Each structure stands twice: as C-alpha cells, then as structure tokens.
Amino acid sequence: MAAEPQPQLSEAQIAVHWREEDYYRPSAKFVAQANAGDPAIIERFGEEHFPECFREYADLLTWDTYWHTTLESSRPPFWKWFVGGRLNGCYNCVDRHLATSRNKAAFICVPEPEEQDTRAITYQELYRRVNEFAALLRGFGGVDTGDRVTFHLPMVPELPVSMLACARLGAIHSEVFGGFSGTACGDRIADSGSRVLVTMDGYYRGGTLVDHKAKADEAVAAARKLGQEVDKVLVWRRHPGQYASKSPMVEGRDFFVDEILADYGGHSIEPVSMPAEAPLFLMYTSGTTGRPKGCQHSTGGYLAYVAGTSKYYQDIHPEDTYWCAADIGWITGHSYIVYGPLLLGTTSVLYEGVPTYPDAGRCWRIAERLGVNIFHTAPTTIRMLRKVGPHEPSRYDYHLKHMTTVGEPIEPEVWRWYHDEVGKGEAAVVDTWWMTETGGFLGSTLPALQPMKPGSCGPGVLGIYPVIYDEDGNVVEGGSGKAGNICIRNPWPGVLQTVWGQPDRFVDIYYRRYCKDPDSTDWRDWPFLCGDGAVQAADGYFRILGRIDDVINVAGHRLGTKELESATLTVEEVAEAAAVPVMDELRGRAVEMYVALNPGLASSPEIEQKVAAAIEREIGKIARPRNVWIVPDMPKTRSGKIMRRVIAGISNFADVGDVTTLANPEIVDDIRHHVQSAK
C-alpha cells in the first residue's frame, strides 16, 4: 500500500476544555409527536441485530427490485449494501410523492436581496424542471449513465434541480461549493473526469451580486492543464434572458441553459433503475496530503442512511417546514437539505445569502414568515447570530420543535443561548457529529429518548458502534477521561464507498491505522478511522475534540494545511510555508500562515498581500488567512521537518512543548517575540 502519512492527535491538544454540564430534556409535547418515541428502537439497532437492523432504513425507499443481501463484506473494506437491489434516487425524492403531494412545496426558496420574492417549488414543478434538465443533459450535454458532471453552483433552486436530474439519469454529480475558486473547481473537474460543467452567471451574497461565471473560465483552464477537456459549460441564468456576468460566453463551449431548455419543454425521462451500489455523487474534501479526495457515495446505502437519520434524528415529518441553513455545496446540504428531506416528502427551505444580512433578524424573520418548525445550522452561525443580535429571536413569532447543530464542537454557553433564545426553551436540540465521508450522522441523541448534554454530541447513533483507540490500538474506556482516536467498529450504509479513482488511498486513509488483520474478511477487523480526537464520558456520550489530521476546521469547513501551503508556495518570494490553526471567537478556528522568504528578501506588506491573494485564487475566499507572518526561519526538527505544533503554540499564546530537540531552538523566541508583540 502507498504510504499515506498517518495522523497524530494534535489539534486536540489546543482544543478548548470545558466542564461537563447538566442534562436537558425535551418537552412532553415534543416527545408525544416524535418519530422515534419508543425506546424499543434502540434495541432493534443493537449490535446483535447488525446488519439486518438497516433494513428499517432501506424500507423507507421505494425499490424497483428488492435486494437479497443486506451487507456483502467479502472484500473489506469495500462494503456492499442492499446487494441485488435496484432503485432510482430522483424517483425516490420526487416522482413517488406526486400521487399524494403534487401541489405541496418541495422547496421554499428565499432569495437575496428581496425576501418578498420568496417562492415555493411544488413537487410537481420540481418533477417538471428535473425532467426537462435531465433531457437537456442527456440530449444536448451527451451525459450518460455513469458519467460525472461537475457543478459549481450557489444556493439557488437550480442546484437541487441539477442534482436530481443527474440522479434521474444515473449520472454522478460532483458539486463544488460555490465559494471555491475557479482553480479549485478545475482540480475537481479533472480528478472526476467531467466533460460538462454546470454553473451560473451570478448570485447574491450579503447585498452584492457576485459574478460567478468568470470562475468557470478559470476552472476550464485549470482542468485543461491537468489534461481534462470540458466540452460544454452550461450556464443557468439567474434571470432568464438577462446575463448577470461580465465574462464572455465562449462560442461552441458555453450555453445558456434557459435558451437550450426551450427545446426540451415538457420532455420526460424515464428514471434509470440503478444498482444499489452505483455511485450517486462525489463530494471532495481535504485530508492529510495535498490532493482533495473525491468521497464516493452510493445510491441505495446512502439514500437509506440519510432517510433514516432524517426521520429519527431530525424528526422530519411530511407536514414539517424544515430549514437547514447550510450550503448545498457541502455534505450537510446534500444529505440534509436535498436528499433526506425530499425522501421523506417534506418541505425544505433553501435560502440565498448570509444569515446576518440585511440584519441580524433575517433567520428569525424567515422562520416566522414560513412557519419553520425545524432549524439546522452550525456553531459558527450560532456564535455570529448571538453576537450581533442576542435578543433578536424574541422579536419574532416563530416556534421551533427541533434544532440541530453540526460541523464543529459547540461551547456549552453558545449551546444554551441556542436552546434558550433561538429555541425559546421549546425545541429539542441535537448536536450531530459526522463528516463528508460518512454520508450522515455518526454521533448524536435521539431527541425524544436520549437527553441533551451541551458540549457533547451524544452516543453513537442507531447502528453505529464507535470506539476510541489510543495510539497503540488499545481501547480507551469511557469515563477514563482520556482522549484518543475515535473509530467506528462496523460498516454502515452511508459510509463512502471509496475515494474516486484512488482505492488504495481509500484503504490507507480510513482503514489501515487500526486494521486488525489485512487478510481478514470479517468486518470486525476493519474499524473506520474518523479522523477526530474524542473523549467518552461514563454515560457513553462523546465529546469531539477536533481533527487529528492536518486539517483546520474553519467555520465548519475543512481546509487542508497542505493545500494552504502549496497555494502559498505559488508566490515566488516564498521559500517555506506552514499553516496553523488559531482559536477564533466566531469561526472556531482561523488560519494563520507562517512564511519564510527566499534568501536576501526582506519582508513587506506586499508579500503578505500576495500570499493572501494566492490562497484566495487557489482555494477560495473562505481560506483567506487571518494573518500572514513572515519569519526569518521555521522551527525544524534535525531531519528538516517543520514543527507546526510549535508554531501553533506560539500563535495561540500556548505552551509550545519541548523545543530542545529542534535543529534551531533559538528561532522559537524570535518568532514568539515578533508574532506576539504584533497581536
């Protein structure tokens, strides 16, 4: 196997440590209506019922052909779920609801800048739009079953329409978060081998119209450099007939979707019946090494898993108005804005813009206006809303029965504000811990059955049996107060199938670390390495401490230190670069870049600017460092390895640990003086 550097517990060392808190319980009213109200469900998913317990999730789907084998595990860790089954993802999300819910809103779209332009898309209208776009993709785009199609789309209804159109054709979609740069998009186009890019002319964010199509030109050029040609760029226009971008349309390559769609009006496409194991989509994420990994998610297993977790953990009923205020460009949006809610036939709110513009009341006004009763967001948003409008929620007449937090650890005091002010003390709160690779939740509480504990996500969710190992592979017992690497002992339907095009790397990253026997065909020998440090309390609840690999979680988004460093190294003056996380009041973590220049060059604000600009160009605005520190040299080991731990200690005004073994220990004080006096 290729030698993937194995991660160490590191970010956990600078994690905030907080007190264990009291339990909170949901209201009797919530419990009475909950989907998972009978404790027998916990028994049904007990380990002795694995893997058959997951039938219950798969039975939430409509199958063209029922499966014969729940879990096929003869070639670990390439698990196969619901083998022999066939289904179509789009049919399950859209068509099957038409008989009862044709005129019900599938999505309610809240645009910027005018909230009064809020518009519902019924299941019938969604069906129509998806069919027409699927016909266009096949007829005009030449997209066939199994082809990859890259999207670079913002939070507009055209994004779920495009996803479902691919699912209808059995084509594999790969959405790149709209805020990523054209270059980052191009890398993902090339890795997935997409010939078609679907994009948009422009979108609104915080009161400004963003010219988005320009990024498509950079993306196509970046993909070409990597040997991948894009034949067609399909450009949705925000207002059909008007072009909101300054980027010229390239003859024979770029096409306005609204113009071509005219040829496909009223077309229907038969949903392609796909094997349960066929990939549904790719979602790229960062890891230890430079190149982003295309996490491949399946059709049957993934959809079953998101349907089941949406039903029991999000407590979604068809009559709810559910709002997950994440971006569909991340896994949260795929699983819990689009697929999960639509599979359950509910109404999902999709909003454009940011939570704090035009004012701190935006979210609560939307909740009031639409009668939202389930709300889902990230700690970073909660912290921000608390800061800008701590009493704002009480000014609006809305009532939430349920709220979710996801993406990073939430501090108990922030949790309490969420519970008391946003939830008005009425809503059950679930803290859901999981990641891009896992398709859906791994750790959380069943809202009616397991009490909430601020700061802890809860125990493993139904059918997930976590374990914490120390560096030597010994089990760290709950209640021991010790941190370790959290793993999942069993396969589950939502887990990624592989890393697109890199099966060896997939095995290496997620399974090598604690594999008990590489020749074993017993799933019990193949624990899944989640990539987080964690502590388990005596009550079985997990507290997640953060990533153990070289990943910085900024506002709930994973940024690879290697990607940040290679972007920085594109600046010609830069000789060496190190990215480290620093604590950030609002975003959890922020990035600081440390840079050493080529010999003879003096530091200057211009070079700092160039570094920030390079990161924005190569990755996107979200990765912009909080500070760029130009230092005379990096602290290094005798073998020349940059000691990020030491740098992170300096940046966080924390203990840097033992530096006597460094090749250049004197540099530590130099850097400390330079950085800490400037902060």
Compute the 3-state secondary structure of the chain and give helix, strand, coil in percent, each to the nearest 5: 35, 25, 45
Could you tell me which residues come within 8 angstroms of residue 270 by beta carbon, excluding any fewer than 6 positions away? Answer: none
Looking at 486-575, list the stretches that DSSP marks H as alpha helix, in order from N- to C-terminal side: 503-510, 561-568
Q: Which residue has the tokens 């850097």?
A: 671
Q: Cβ of residue 332: shortest distance to ligand WT7, in angstroms?
A: 5
Q: Does 439 bind ligand WT7 (CB under 6 A)?
A: no
Q: Give me Rg for the CA atoms of the chain.
A: 24
- Select from 262-270, 301-309, 514-522, 546-554 the region that touches ligand WT7 (CB under 6 A): 546-554
Q: Cβ of residue 312: shortest distance to ligand WT7, in angstroms?
A: 17
For residues 187 and 408, which CB has a smaller minimum distance to ligand WT7 in the complex?
Answer: 408
Question: Interaction with ligand WT7 in 261-290: which residues (CB under 6 A)?
Answer: 285
Q: Which of 108, 367, 370, 406 binds ligand WT7 (CB under 6 A)?
A: 406
For residues 88 and 445, which CB has a smaller minimum distance to ligand WT7 in the complex?
Answer: 445
Q: Does 332 bind ligand WT7 (CB under 6 A)?
A: yes
Q: Does 436 bind ligand WT7 (CB under 6 A)?
A: yes
Q: Cβ of residue 201: shortest distance to ligand WT7, in angstroms?
A: 28
Cα separations in angstroms, 674 against 371, 534, 645, 662, 671: 53, 34, 18, 19, 5
Question: Interaction with ligand WT7 in 448-467: which residues (CB under 6 A)?
Answer: 457
Element (H, E) at 298: strand 293-298
Q: Which of 409, 455, 527, 560 binds ligand WT7 (CB under 6 A)?
A: 409
The DSSP letter of residue 180 is B
For residues 245 and 380, which CB has a smaller minimum distance to ligand WT7 in the complex?
Answer: 380
Residue 516's identity, in one-letter code, is: K
Tokens at 373, concatenated: 């009763």
Binding mask 477-516 for ligand WT7 (x = CB under 6 A): ----------------------------------------
Q: Cβ of residue 588: shortest distance to ligand WT7, in angstroms?
A: 9
Q: Torsion-angle region of residue 640: left (phi > 0), alpha (psi -120 to 50) or beta?
A: left
- Could you give the CA distance from residue 58 to residue 54 in angstroms, rounded to a whole number? 6
Q: Cβ of residue 556: shortest distance to ligand WT7, in angstroms?
A: 6
Q: Which of 178, 182, 393, 531 binds ligand WT7 (CB under 6 A)?
A: 531
Residue 597's identity, in one-letter code, is: L
- Select from 201-209, 360-368, 556-564, 624-632 the region that touches ligand WT7 (CB under 6 A): 556-564
Q: Which of 393, 463, 556, 649 binds ligand WT7 (CB under 6 A)?
A: 556
Q: Does 433 bind ligand WT7 (CB under 6 A)?
A: yes
Nearest to 433 by CA among 400, 401, 464, 478: 464
Nearest to 539 by CA among 126, 133, 5, 23: 23
Packed helices 182-192 and 605-618: angle between N→C axes, nearest 10 degrees: 40
- Phi and psi dihedrals of 171, rounded to 5? -90, 155
Q: Which of 128, 238, 558, 644 binds ligand WT7 (CB under 6 A)?
A: 558
- Select from 197-205, 503-511, 539-547, 648-656 the region that touches ligand WT7 (CB under 6 A): 539-547
Contact 180, 85 (CB under 8 A): no
Q: Does 331 bind ligand WT7 (CB under 6 A)?
A: yes
- Could you give the CA distance from residue 48 to residue 447 in angstroms, rounded to a whole number? 24
Binding mask 7-26 for ligand WT7 (x = CB under 6 A): --------------------
- Select from 395-403, 433-441, 519-527, 670-678 the region that touches ligand WT7 (CB under 6 A): 433-441
**Interface size with ligand WT7, residues (CB under 6 A):** 24
For residues 122 and 456, which CB has a smaller minimum distance to ligand WT7 in the complex?
Answer: 456
Q: Does 381 bind ligand WT7 (CB under 6 A)?
A: no
Could you tell me which residues come within 8 angstroms of residue 208 by beta carbon, excluding any fewer than 6 positions away? Answer: none
Cα separations in angstroms, 387 against 2, 136, 356, 392: 47, 46, 10, 10
The DSSP letter of residue 64 is S
Residue numbers at the binding site for ligand WT7 (CB under 6 A): 285, 330-332, 406-409, 431-436, 457, 531-532, 544, 546-547, 553, 556-558
